[in-house]
Structure 1
Amino acid sequence: MRSKLLTVAIAAGLGLTSFSALAATQKSQQPARVTVDAATLQQLQAQLAALQSQVADLQAKQEAQADAQIETAKAVNDVQVTAAKPADELAKKLDALNKLVDNTKIGGTMFFDVTNQDHDEKIGNGRSIQKDGHGSVNGTGFDVKRFYLTVDHKFNDIWSANLTTDFSYQSSLSSTSLFVKKAYVQGKFDQLFTVRFGASDMPWIPFVEKWYGYRYVENTITDRSFEGGRSGGTATAGGVGAFGNSSDWGIHAMGATTGDNSVNYQVSVVNGRGYRNLSRSKSVDTEARLGYSPIEQMVIAIGGYSGKRGNDVEAGAPTRTATRGDALLAWRDKTWGVGAEYFHTENWDDILKYQGTGAGTGVATGTTKDKADGYSLWADWKFYDQFAVFARYDKVNYKYDNLVNVEEKIKDKYYNAGVSYDVLKNLKLALVYKHNKLDGPFATPYHYKTNEVGFWGMLTF
């Protein structure tokens, strides 16, 4: 722009100079017109001076404006750079938050029921009396048996972590309790080698639950509370409880392939007291499982447990080793589910060696010990869209030596049947009837039966 103005000014100057030369020539040729032409020339020269002054002023203004534009552009750039720094920091923070959210999963599972229960007990040949006891309470009520809240976080393709809390109601305390069921760090190095450190699923019970499919209705046979036995070799009957733990603290190694001709395994070295008890002892327990699927819908699995169940403590009572053997044969596809589970235990209840006494002698005659065998059969059929029918039958034979080394026997029979309805993908309901009957030694209060009917449900998210 400034170059164009200078060009115009020079051209104007040259034009006026030529005009002056022309005027001088005419002056030499026509002397009579000199006075008029001189005045005109003076006027034009004055106009040229004024024009040159205006051009100079305009040029100065344009230069000042250009300098102002440069300063403004620089200031705008500085502002943009300054504003970009917190924006970049915010973008980095948002990116980190997105990664945290994408790599973290939060979920939950709730088991609930609304049922009516009828529990009768008798001693020997006495009359059956309706009463509360052995884990059963008469009447109608709503229960939340379990509520698991789970947080999974993936650090990278190998390392991850899990935290699962367990809410449950304890009838012995008449209150609810909150436990950490699972809390572990996991390293997955290969599909056949994953290792977990902390409290995690044990090899057997959770594995069977996946094939059974109706854990929200009832625990599997080794996890279902058995109310017979003496609970540790004492004179007072107290009940064995379950024949295994679903989760425990320790080191867990596992792996599996998929599809037909696949294998799976898990080995856990644990404390032995279950996820609710972190106490230590002089030895650790071991549980293992090995499974094979000739086709994807079928599994054949065996397992075993050996250990002191956390009772081998310093300066404690003498102990023996508890053992359990397991076997599973199951089938499950989109329509059918069929399975059979078997277990055998020895010294599960009588870890502590109890010195019995002969009648009237007051001297030690031996030590108590126990063993148990049990099997569970189940089947279910999805007959229409979201509806299915199912049934299950369990039997447990429990034997133990009494205080004078005489073997006593307890028999437990359990069955259920019902209809399930998948209300939503993550909500299941089932109308179920349950029956449990236990017959113990003749003179003990271990003769009872329990009938229960109602709705059981599972909500997951």
Structure 2
Amino acid sequence: MNKKMSLLTGAALGVFLAAGATAQADAKTKAKPHHAPAESLAAKQAQEIELLKAQVESLSERLLAIDQQQAQVKAQADQAQAAAQAAQAETAAQIKTIPATVKTQVAAALPKPKPSWADSTQVSGRMYFNLSNIEQKSNGAKVAPSGTGFDIKRFYVGIDHKFNDTFSGNITTDMNYVSNDGETQVYIKKAYLQAKLSDAAIIRVGSADLPWVPFAEDVYGYRFIENTVADRTKFGTSADWGVHASGKLMDGKLGYAVAMINGNGYKNPSRAKSVDFEGRVNLNIDKAVFAVGGYTGKLGKEVTGGVATPHTATRVNALAAWVDKKYRVGVEYFSAKDWNNVTTAAEDKADGYSVFGSYSFTPEISAFGRWDRVKPSKTLKASEKDNYFNLGLNWEPTKIVDLALVYKRDKVDNGLLSTSNGTIGGSNSGTYDEVGLFGQFRW
């Protein structure tokens, strides 16, 4: 704008000078050059200059007004263009939502499908297997099942169905094929109706997990290698038929489980004159686990028309462990009375303990080991004893698969002992050595 005014001013001055020069030239040619005074001529020129300045200022004001009007028009045009772009973007966004809106409205208008039974049903499975070589001896002589073979120790298939937030049901089959007996066996391990009243009160009716053995298995962590100490030596089992209650309190730090059961195990749901009881209380403090449990009853042997049952089988259990992502270490103990003498006149006692541990070098690779010592008949056969250990290296390629190289050895002195690996021992002693690949997979 200043540049335009300067140009206009210069042009006006140029016009003025040219006019003055013309006037002087005309004055020279007029007939009366000497009669017009100099002051009069200067005053006339000054008036003309002022007139020209006024004209220049008026013209400058008009140009300034034109520039302001053009700037206002431009601003309005820019504002209108921005509004148009925003409206265009909003329209494009609304167009993109049309398919989803139409889909939602169509779905709302259509009748809703009825809930399917399968929507609330889950199928799970787990298999324990091994490819190994066994060398078993009794009094120094090799006996069956010595040799190499493939075993399926356990194959569980479970079906869980949820009726509502309170009631659900489960049925789990148990199949095994082991070289000890050379035949395939199939059982119903669990079949129960559950009512979950709260985290502190879960009731199950039917065949379900017992309070102690499954709990100890979870703490031990290597059930696919071997049963825990009481289960391995047949001083306990993992499931039975009856009424079961369990729960957690104090934000999960305190847990409990109790069961009123037949007493003969899940493989034999027979009737008896009385029921047995098993219970457990556990306390979890940080990574530390402490638990105590007990059992009392006739083990399902007190039946109508059966033999006399002068004794009651009892068992006390205890466990302490530290379980971390990197390592776990623990000890389990049991003491039993008349467990194998419910129907005999003689009384007997037994006890045993197990020390176990593992260390994870990486999330996939860990080393583990365990040692059990059991005295199965402290009163009647005080010299009989069982020493067992295992050690191995485990690889977990995924969360659902474990593969382990394992060595196991069991030695029974001065008697025969029924174990999860068969009957081991002899009049002097017997040994059981097994080495091979053990594994599990689950879904």
State the TM-score, normalizing by the size of structure 2. 0.71
Matched with 1:391 is: 369
Shift of 1:450: 1.3
Shift of 1:114: 0.5
Matched with 1:346 is: 337
| Equivalences for residues 293-304 of structure 1 within 5 A | 293-295=284-286, 297-304=287-294
Any gaps of 5 or more consecutive residues in structure 1?
1-83, 123-127, 227-241, 354-366
**Relative to 1, partners in 2 of residues 1:446 and 1:424: Cα closer, same or farther, differing over 3 Å?**
farther
**Equivalent residues of 2:135, 2:146 under 8 A apart:** yes
**Equivalent residues of 1:369, 1:400 under 8 A apart:** no
CA distance in structure 1 between the partners assigned to 2:390 and 2:180 by the alignment: 26
Q: Deviations over 1:118-176 (max 9, x none)?
A: 11111xxxxx11112xxxx1011111110000111111111111110000136676321
2:402 is the alignment partner of 1:447: no
2:153 is the alignment partner of 1:152: no
Q: State the SS of the aligned residue for 1:223.
A: helix
Match of 1:103 among 103, 120, 125: 120
2:140 is the alignment partner of 1:131: no
Q: Deviations over 1:38-75 (max 9, x none)?
A: xxxxxxxxxxxxxxxxxxxxxxxxxxxxxxxxxxxxxx
Shift of 1:436: 0.6
Matched with 2:389 is: 415
**Equivalent residues of 1:181, 1:247 under 8 A apart:** yes
**Relative to 1, partners in 2 of residues 1:188 and 1:118: Cα closer, same or farther, differing over 3 Å?**
same
CA distance in structure 2 between the partners assigned to 1:438 and 1:118 by the alignment: 14
Matched with 1:290 is: 281
Match of 1:327 among 318, 328, 333: 318
**Relative to 1, partners in 2 of residues 1:243 and 1:441: Cα closer, same or farther, differing over 3 Å?**
closer
| Equivalences for residues 185-196 of structure 1 within 5 A | 185-196=193-204
Shift of 1:430: 0.5
Match of 2:240 among 238, 242, 248: 248
Q: Deviations over 1:18-54 (max 9, x none)?
A: xxxxxxxxxxxxxxxxxxxxxxxxxxxxxxxxxxxxx
**Equivalent residues of 2:262, 2:300 under 8 A apart:** yes
Amino acid in structure 2 at the alignment position of 1:324: R
2:264 is the alignment partner of 1:264: no
2:180 is the alignment partner of 1:198: no
Shift of 1:318: 1.7
Shift of 1:445: 2.7
Matched with 1:277 is: 268
CA distance in structure 2 between the partners assigned to 1:174 and 1:141 by the alignment: 11
CA distance in structure 1 between the partners assigned to 2:437 and 2:142 by the alignment: 23
| Equivalences for residues 157-236 of structure 1 within 5 A | 157-169=165-177, 174-224=182-232, 226=233
Matched with 2:82 is: none
**Equivalent residues of 2:200, 2:248 under 8 A apart:** yes
**Relative to 1, partners in 2 of residues 1:109 and 1:293: Cα closer, same or farther, differing over 3 Å?**
same
CA distance in structure 1 between the partners assigned to 2:307 and 2:158 by the alignment: 38
Shift of 1:264: 0.2
Q: State the SS of the aligned residue for 2:118.
A: helix
Shift of 1:444: 5.5
Runs (4+) off by over 4 Å: 170-173, 441-444
Shift of 1:113: 0.3
2:439 is the alignment partner of 1:460: no
Q: State the SS of the aligned residue for 2:296.
A: strand
Match of 2:132 among 115, 118, 123: 115
CA distance in structure 2 between the partners assigned to 1:449 and 1:181 by the alignment: 31
Question: Larger deviation: 408-417 or 298-307?
Answer: 408-417
CA distance in structure 1 between the partners assigned to 2:185 and 2:369 by the alignment: 31
Shift of 1:182: 0.4
CA distance in structure 2 between the partners assigned to 1:274 and 1:118 by the alignment: 30
Amino acid in structure 2 at the alignment position of 1:326: N
| Equivalences for residues 81-92 of structure 1 within 5 A | none
**Equivalent residues of 1:428, 1:457 under 8 A apart:** yes
Any gaps of 5 or more consecutive residues in structure 2?
1-105, 417-424
Shift of 1:191: 1.0
**Equivalent residues of 1:408, 1:441 under 8 A apart:** no
**Equivalent residues of 1:306, 1:324 under 8 A apart:** yes
| Equivalences for residues 307-322 of structure 1 within 5 A | 307-319=297-309, 320-322=311-313
Match of 2:401 among 411, 427, 439: 427
CA distance in structure 1 between the partners assigned to 2:250 and 2:361 by the alignment: 27
Shift of 1:257: 3.5
CA distance in structure 2 between the partners assigned to 1:149 and 1:211 by the alignment: 22
CA distance in structure 1 between the partners assigned to 2:319 and 2:382 by the alignment: 28
Shift of 1:425: 1.5
Q: Deviations over 1:186-230 (max 9, x none)?
A: 001111111000000000000011111100000000110x3xxxx
**Relative to 1, partners in 2 of residues 1:455 and 1:259: Cα closer, same or farther, differing over 3 Å?**
farther
CA distance in structure 1 between the partners assigned to 2:388 and 2:181 by the alignment: 26
| Equivalences for residues 61-100 of structure 1 within 5 A | 94-97=113-116, 100=117
CA distance in structure 2 between the partners assigned to 1:348 and 1:417 by the alignment: 29
CA distance in structure 1 between the partners assigned to 2:132 and 2:178 by the alignment: 18
**Equivalent residues of 2:153, 2:178 under 8 A apart:** no
Q: Deviations over 1:261-312 (max 9, x none)?
A: x1000000000000000111100000000011122x2211000000000001
CA distance in structure 1 between the partners assigned to 2:370 and 2:249 by the alignment: 29
Amino acid in structure 1 at the alignment position of 2:324: D
